[in-house]
Amino acid sequence: MSKLNRSQPLKKLSFLATAVAVLGITSAYAADYPTAKVNTTGLAVTDSTVTVGILHSATGTMAISETGSIQAEKLAIAQINALGGVLGRKIEVIQEDGASDWPTFAEKSKKLLENDKVAAVMGCWTSASRKAVLPVFEKDNGLLFYPTFYEGLEQSKNVFYTGQEATQQILAGLDWIAKEKKAKTFYLIGSDYIWPRTSMKIARKHIEQHLKGTVVGEEYVALGDTQFGSVINKIKLKKPDVIYAAVVGGSNVAWFKQLNAAGLDAKKQTMLTISVTEDEVLGIGGENLEGFYSAMKYFQSLKNPNNEAFVAEFKKAYGEASVIGDVTQAAYLGPWLWKAGVEKAGSFDVDKVAAALPGYEFTAAPEGYVKVDQNHHLWSKLRIGQWRKDGQADVVYESELIAPDPFPKGYQ
């Protein structure tokens, strides 16, 4: 990391210009953008630095999931700094720990925005934490880049959503499995909180109205529940063509282990899940997942030059054994999109960046081309990955670019 964080003397313009030209990314020099002009709202911007915040849970139950996001955001920032920063200013990071506790998230976001005057915040993971900080960001006019795929039904001037909203993740995946596996009957199972419940509502509507299929069971298990014996027996009795699953956290591991132990492996049962990324596979174990499908916009095994470079850099920074899941990649987009917005606006002012970013097309994303929509979500593709024993996925299907639709008509 230290290599990437080394100070870049601004005088070495020619070197920078070459680097910039080679990578095809527009950059600019601090001298062309006087601080008084690019920062009219009193943000933490000096002639040579700009401060952004990172707000995730580094401790508590959510640290399992959020660690990857923190790593990806820091990597992106280090890379941006190595390229000369944003408007010629090096990014400095203030990292706060939300500690898996929603009031703490609100308090820390207040601290970042009001005391530290950060120009943007990369952060949050669960919807609960995002909902907790949203009023703070709207009141203090901050800028949040939120990485997780989530249930939708939200749009704010102060937030950019770099993960998929529910319809982007659900509809194309269901279409694929219905067509490919001739699936007619579905069993829906999820953890008992807002994201799985909203997702299953959308899935059920889509199955019943568009695919003309039947939902033979819909089930929610308490967060943290590790006993699936009865649920698995119910599934055995109903014999659905497809299990559609959104189980999270510790329950997820227990779910797959017990499913396999009960004889329901991929040879006997088709399952499509929207809650398993490479991160989860570490805990579940590839042998328990082999052959099942995940619907995500990103898999570490994606074959394109952007992704290969990204994976190599990530492993260099965090070790050969580290894996990259869907949300980690989405978190990596945050700093890059913010930089693009600032450069397009020629200003760090939140209103100007928020106005400039929609319409921006980011071609260097590891997942491939993405576009920022007017509704602050991203246009992206959906991929279906089939898990291998080694914990990586073979991408078996890739959709067209899907427009984000956080308030889907007919699905609520």
Number of residues that bind other proteins (CB under 8 A): 44
Of 63-71, 124-132, 208-216, 291-299, which part binds other proteins (CB under 8 A)? 63-71
**Residue 267 lies near other proteins (rule: CB under 8 A):** no
Q: Hey, what are 72's tokens?
A: 């990806």
**Residue 252 lies near other proteins (rule: CB under 8 A):** yes
- ∠ CA(53), CA(54), CA(56), 5° rounding? 145
DSSP assignment of 85-141: -BTTBEEEEEEEE-TT-HHHHHHHHHIIIIIS--S-EEE--SHHHHHHHHHHHHHHT
Residue 172 to residues 175, 293, 304, Cα–Cα distance (Å): 5, 13, 22
**Residue 224 lies near other proteins (rule: CB under 8 A):** yes
Work out which of 248, 254, 272, 372 binds other proteins, going by CB under 8 A.
254
**Residue 291 lies near other proteins (rule: CB under 8 A):** no
* Bridge partner list, 218: 188
Work out which of 31, 261, 312, 396 binds other proteins, going by CB under 8 A.
261
**Residue 229 lies near other proteins (rule: CB under 8 A):** yes
CB of 229 to other proteins, least distance (A): 3
Residue 286: closest CA among 384, 391, 393, 385: 391
Of 36-44, 141-149, 257-265, 333-341, which part binds other proteins (CB under 8 A)? 257-265
**Residue 63 lies near other proteins (rule: CB under 8 A):** yes
CB of 336 to other proteins, least distance (A): 25
Looking at the Cβ atoms of 264 and 395, the one nearer to other proteins is 264
Q: Tokens 């200003």 sit at which residue? A: 347
Instruction: Give the contacts of 231 (CB within 8 A, at least 6 positions apart).
Output: 189, 219, 221
Query: Which residue ranges make up the site for other proteins (CB under 8 A)?
Result: 58-61, 63-64, 66-67, 192, 218-222, 224-227, 229-234, 236-237, 250, 252-254, 257-258, 260-264, 279-280, 282-285, 287
